[in-house]
Amino acid sequence: MIAAAVPIETPSVDLWAIAPIMALVATGVGIVLLRALLRRHAAVTPAAFGLSIVGLLVAAGLLVRQWNLVRDDGPLTSFAGLVRVDPFAVFLGIVVVAATLAGVLLSYSYLRREGLEAPEYFALILLSASGMLMMTTANDLIVVFMALEVLSIPLYVLAAFDRRRLRSQEAGLKYFVLGAFSSAVFLYGIALTYGATGTTSLTGIATFLSQNTLFEQGTLLMGLALLLVGLGFKVAAVPFHMWTPDVYQGAPTPVTAFMAAATKAAAFAAILRIVTTAFPQYRDDWRPIIWVLAALSMLVGAIAAMAQNDIKRTLAYSSIAHAGYILMGVYATTSRGREAALLYLLVYAFMAIGAFAVVMIAAPSPDDAKHSYDDYRGMALKRPILGGLLIFFVLAQAGVPLTSGFIGKLEIFGSVAQAGETRDYILLVIGVVSAVIAFAFYLRIAYTLVTAPDDEAALESAYSTTPRRVDGWTGLVLFAAAALTLVIGLVPGTFIHFARDAVFF
């Protein structure tokens, strides 16, 4: 009987497809192992730091190799269609790895300064980044869910990493409860989609829907809506944004920078892939949802940011508004729209990291707790370079010409204007209005930085902590972020072409 049994057919496995993910996982596990072997040796944190940089560079090298491979030979599908490496995935993978590298570089001096040195920190960042890379290549709803969890669970710990600071723990707990809630909602969306179509593969769903007409649409539409709700939480789109300001404010600042730049890229990878690959037949059903999410995110993000008194909170609300602009690119549904969304994710990553890097290094009080406008008043007068950089980054986020933020917004608005229906123009007007409102609070930050308090004594005490030296790694991140923000603004051609090459699934 046993001899007659049919051998199990295993799916073809191409390890090149997941090589960057494996590099990050191996480095993360290696760091944990290192910690177990070296215990409390003084060199353990520097070693973990060095190892994580090596791992990220290896992953970046593998991604470049994959880019050349998939551009020449077409997309690579492996693991029985679970993983799909295409230019789109590699592009966002590069954004994620760059943001992770910046987050790691920022963390080193920060952890030392705050007395939080622990090698596990780097392992957590790398494991979270591996989940994000998995998310960019996921071609099956279950892989998307697993990636969502692999990226989120380390982030919950990272947000709560500052054990002595209650705000950090509170941020971690809030992120955890709402993150777990949104994952469950997302999972229910997968279950209903599976029930309606009989498959969880994104291409399988599209094939099924193009060949069959569903007898009753309710299950599938409910599933699609729940999927969008779950991912809406992750990209911080209104009305699923409640956690964002609290978590961005409470989390250690390098974690905030990493979270803002990298998580957004990964979550938008999932949104774009799900709506474009799996549900092209249902575009008339999901486009209105995206329309509402985009419009609300842009308006609520910009208006609520005006009412804030804390720089990290303001930047959190501005990240909500930016999510709205990227959703406009998703709404456009054209390849031009996808290109604009990809470009925006790239430029936003550097603008956000730059701004949070300045906030991290310039924070006036020793324990990363005071970031109110009053604490920053007159900062640019005392530290012109750092203050100037923060002004540059917020103006770039506002979309001032000659910065990358302007190019990003231009592409997004252009892609929506191209479609040319009335509701497209309405969304466009909302976007422009939101950009104008946003200018007000970005300028308020800039104004706060350059105005001196009334008298000399107040100036002395206003921004008075002993000037903190900018260490080499932070300087490198600041320089790279500023240079890229400027270069993309001045010569956008290369980067637009790069994004254009990446829109094909």
- Name the residues that contact other proteins, by CB under 8 A: 142, 145-146, 149, 153, 156-157, 160, 163, 166-167, 169-174, 176-177, 180-181, 183-185, 187-188, 190-192, 194-195, 198-200, 245-246, 249-250, 307-310, 313
Helix axes of 422-450 and 384-398: crossing angle, nearest 10 degrees? 170
Q: Can you give the three-state secondary structure of 395-415, one letter per residue?
A: HHHHCCCCCHHHHHHHHHHHH
Beta carbon of residue 137, minimum distance to other proteins (angstroms, whole number) = 17
Residue 177 vs 483, nearer CB to other proteins: 177
| CA neighbor of 272 nearest in space, from 99, 74, 502, 54 | 502
Beta carbon of residue 48, minimum distance to other proteins (angstroms, whole number) = 20
Q: In terms of C-beta density within 10 A (0-12 exposed, 13-18 middle, 19 or more buried), how is residue 10 classed?
A: exposed
- Report which secondary-structure segment, H or E, holds 76: strand 76-78
What number of other Cβ atoms are within 10 A of residue 134's Cβ?
A: 26
Beta carbon of residue 217, minimum distance to other proteins (angstroms, whole number) = 16
Residue 338 vs 371, nearer CB to other proteins: 371
| CA neighbor of 133 nearest in space, from 76, 56, 190 | 56
Residue 53 vs 303, nearer CB to other proteins: 303
DSSP letter for 383, please.
Answer: S
CA–CA distance, 87 with 76 (Å, rounded to integer): 10
CA–CA distance, 293 with 285 (Å, rounded to integer): 14
CA–CA distance, 299 with 303 (Å, rounded to integer): 6
Beta carbon of residue 157, minimum distance to other proteins (angstroms, whole number) = 6
Residue 137 vs 200, nearer CB to other proteins: 200
| CA neighbor of 105 nearest in space, from 440, 480, 365 | 480
Residue 174 vs 322, nearer CB to other proteins: 174
Residue 211 vs 466, nearer CB to other proteins: 211
Read off the amino acid at residue 193. T
CA–CA distance, 129 with 142 (Å, rounded to integer): 18
Read off the amino acid at residue 70. V
Residue 139 vs 485, nearer CB to other proteins: 139
Task: Tell me whether the omega of the peptide bond preceding residue 239 falls within 30 degrees of 0, making it cis.
Answer: yes
Token pair for residue 242? Answer: 């409640």
Cα–Cα–Cα angle for 221, 225, 227, rounded to 5 degrees? 115
Beta carbon of residue 153, minimum distance to other proteins (angstroms, whole number) = 5
Beta carbon of residue 282, minimum distance to other proteins (angstroms, whole number) = 19
Residue 183 vs 415, nearer CB to other proteins: 183
Residue 126 vs 503, nearer CB to other proteins: 126
Beta carbon of residue 180, minimum distance to other proteins (angstroms, whole number) = 5
Half-sphere exposure of 153 (CA within 13 A, CB side): 9
Beta carbon of residue 145, minimum distance to other proteins (angstroms, whole number) = 7
Beta carbon of residue 329, minimum distance to other proteins (angstroms, whole number) = 30
